[in-house]
């Protein structure tokens, strides 16, 4: 996902959506996908802090 193409004011909503997807992946025992989503969320949060 290219974060440069997403407006910063949409990051909070994106994090919420990705968190839901991560929870669903984890519930479905798709731990690798959940980990990828976790890392993506962390990188978005890092961008928000800048």
pLDDT value, residue 25:
98
pLDDT value, residue 1:
78
Q: Tens digit of pLDDT for each residue in 13-47?
A: 999 999 999 999 999 999 999 999 999 999 999 99
Report which of residues 3 and 42 the model is more confident about.
42
Reference 14, options 30, 26, 48, 32; nearest CA is 48
pLDDT band per the 50, 70, 90 thresholds, residue 2 = confident
pTM to 2 decimal places? 0.88
Please state, in angstroms and rounded to a whole number, the distance separating the CA atoms of residues 29 and 9. Answer: 32
């Amino acid at each position: 996902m290219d974060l440069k193409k997403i407006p910063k004011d949409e990051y909070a909503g994106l994090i919420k959506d990705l968190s839901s997807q991560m929870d669903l992946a984890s519930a479905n025992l798709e731990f690798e996908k959940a980990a990828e989503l976790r890392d993506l969320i962390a990188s978005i949060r890092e961008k928000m802090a800048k």
